[in-house]
Structure 1
Amino acid sequence: MAEERLQKVIAQSGLTSRRKAEQLIVEGKVKVNNQIVTTLGTKVGPQDEIEVDGVPLEKEAPVYYMLYKPRGVISSVKDDKGRKTVLDFFPEVEERIYPIGRLDYDSSGLILLTNDGEFANLLMHPSHGVEKVYVAKLRGIPSKEELAQLRKGVKSDKDLLKAVRYKILSVDRKKNSMLLELTLIEGKNRHVRRMMEALGYPVQKLKRERYGNLTLDGLVPGETRALTPKEVKQIRNKAT
């Protein structure tokens, strides 16, 4: 395995972001083989022992997984109320994986899990423009003018919530409902639900169908799979 920059290795461990890792190095809080290192860009290999703030860095090979999250599951590594979490679907995985971002309890769909902190930070930051596609079942049928507001932004609390694109999939006038596809780049807390509630059309069901180039093809709720190296490279490229 080739040597890599120290700040990248720290970030990949999931301990902190690369920027924060750089700050810790400059502040003299990082040791390599028991020697304090303050030079950014220092290269380290698998054999090197790294300490951050006195804590040995556990080096795991990076792993990347996809889960088709069912409704009624928490997007967290643990839950103090004893509810099912996304980690419960990975009993065989020994690495310390965690979800990238969140899907709320009542929503289903594609969620990614990894132990690569740098990769997670890259995908979560809105400036990197990774698209996430959702399908929402709405109570009520918004007008074209109301839907156009989604691209301009809808105020909810102190947030301006936007969709970069939307597409009407179907309208059921008898049941007074609409199936709407929404593409987001940002991902604020309960983004789609709050945005549609602010317009007066509550979301009855919500599913994330796509994350960057990744889709749920071939999976049913509760199923998982590892990402291929090609998929990891493609989504990383989209985010840089």
Structure 2
Amino acid sequence: MERLQKVIAHAGIASRRKAEELILNGRVKVNGKTIKELGTKVSTTDKIEVDEVPVVQEEKKYFLLYKPRGVISAVSDDKGRKVVTDFFPNIEERIYPVGRLDYDTSGLLILTNDGEFSNLLTHPRYGVKKVYIAKVKGIPAKEALKKLERGIHLEDGKTAPAKVNLTSLDKRKGTAIIEVTLHEGRNRQVRRMLEAIGHPVMKLKREQYGSLNLHGLNAGESRELTLHEVKHLRTLAQTGKIGHI
């Protein structure tokens, strides 16, 4: 179920605010009944009309993209840079990214036109588990990594406990590979956490999101999620199990 004005906006009839005006002015019908309440929710089976013209609701779509570095997690960019929806030129539905990955971060990103599903995965209460692989400058000491596991103070507050593993190191080059598992979604969080312990990120990739991974995909490639995967993510989030580390 989604709010009526949101469905109208998604169908390209009008902006969200204009859709609200259409409803308040009695120009919208649901199943033949005029609706004037903004809180009204509808399903994909409801018949919606604006000024007696049927509104075609988009089929829900769910995609997994292996986002390359140097791509914006948005549907457009005022500077003309490449955005994630550029990888879906043949998709008619207006999909958008669930959350975001930084411009210089690669990895797993979900795109959909299902607002309820997107909100479920991004809401802090549900804590979707995310696994990142970071190449950092220097070789962190065990105590520094334990600080990250316990939670570390950043400018926007202390982070929640995380799982951190030093997977490999290169003493000659003075670099290390670290796996970070967390269930928060703050802006540039992994980069800020590692910089806080004195080991700035050189390269960052998100390898896992909830129960999904990048197996079988190269950078820039995508695939549609199966119904089972969508249902599994939704169920895990609703039960709160998806964020356990």
Q: Deviations over 1:91-135 (max 9, x none)?
A: 010000000011101110000000000000000012112101000
Identity %: 48
Aligned mates of 2:159, 2:67 — CA distance in 1: 24
Aligned counterpart, 1:145: 143
Structure 1 counterpart SS, 2:121: helix
TM-score, with structure 1 as normaliser? 0.82
Structure 1 counterpart of 2:48, one-letter code: E
User: Aligned pair 1:201/2:173, yes or no?
Assistant: no
SS of corresponding position for 2:168: strand
The DSSP-based 3-state class of the residue aligned with 1:128 is coil
Whether contact under 8 Å (1:12, 1:117) holds in the other structure is no
Say if 1:64 and 1:226, in contact at 8 Å, map to a contact too. yes
Which residue of the partner structure matches residue 79 of structure 1?
77
1:109 counterpart residue number: 107
Separation (CA, whole Å) in 2 of partners of 1:11 and 1:92: 24
* Partner SS state of residue 118, structure 1: helix
Distance 1:162 1:218, change over 3 A: same
Q: What secondary structure does 1:127 align onto? A: coil
* Structure 2 residue 168 is the aligned partner of structure 1 residue 173: no
Match of 1:226 among 213, 224, 227: 224
| Change in CA separation of 1:185 and 1:42 when aligned onto 2, cut-off 3 Å | closer
Q: How many residues align?
A: 222
Partner of 2:129: 131
Aligned amino acid, residue 128 of structure 2: V
Tell me which amino acid in the other structure corresponds to 2:180.
Answer: L
For the aligned residue pairs, the C-alpha RMSD in angstroms reads 2.8
Residue 185 (structure 1) aligned to one of 177, 183, 186: 183
Amino acid across the alignment from 2:45: P
Aligned-partner Cα distance in 2 for 1:71–1:95: 25
Describe the shift of the 1:92–1:136 C-alpha distance in structure 2 as closer, same or farther (beyond 3 A): same
Residue type at the aligned position of 1:167: N
Q: What is residue 239 of structure 1 aligned with on the other side?
A: 237
Give the match's secondary structure for 1:193: helix
Q: For residues 21-79 of structure 1, what are the alpha-carbon distances to aligned partners after superposition, in whole Å with 9 as ceiling and x for unaligned?
A: xxx8xx9799543623559787656352167xxxx966211100011011111111011
* Segment drifting more, 64-73 vs 171-180: 171-180
Change beyond 3 A, Cα 1:58–1:117 = farther
In 2, distance between residues paired with 1:113 and 1:132? 16
From the superposition, tell whether residues 67 and 44 of structure 1 become closer, same or farther in structure 2 (CA, over 3 Å).
Answer: closer
Indicate the SS of the match to 1:126. coil
Q: What pairs up with 1:28-107 in 2 under 5 angstroms?
A: 31-33=28-30, 35-36=34-35, 38=37, 46-49=45-48, 59-107=57-105
Deviation at 1:157, TM superposition (A): 1.7
**Structure 2: segments with no counterpart, 5+ residues:** 11-19, 239-245
Q: Structure 1 residues 46, 161: closer, same or farther in 2, change over 3 A?
A: same
Relative to structure 1, the CA distance from residue 46 to residue 102 in structure 2 (aligned partners, 3 Å threshold; closer, same or farther) is: same
Q: Deviations over 1:189-238 (max 9, x none)?
A: 00100111111100000000000110000000000110010111111111
State how far apart, in whole Å, the 2-side matches of 1:199 and 1:60 are. Answer: 46
Q: In structure 1, list runs of 5 or more residues that go unmatched.
A: 16-23
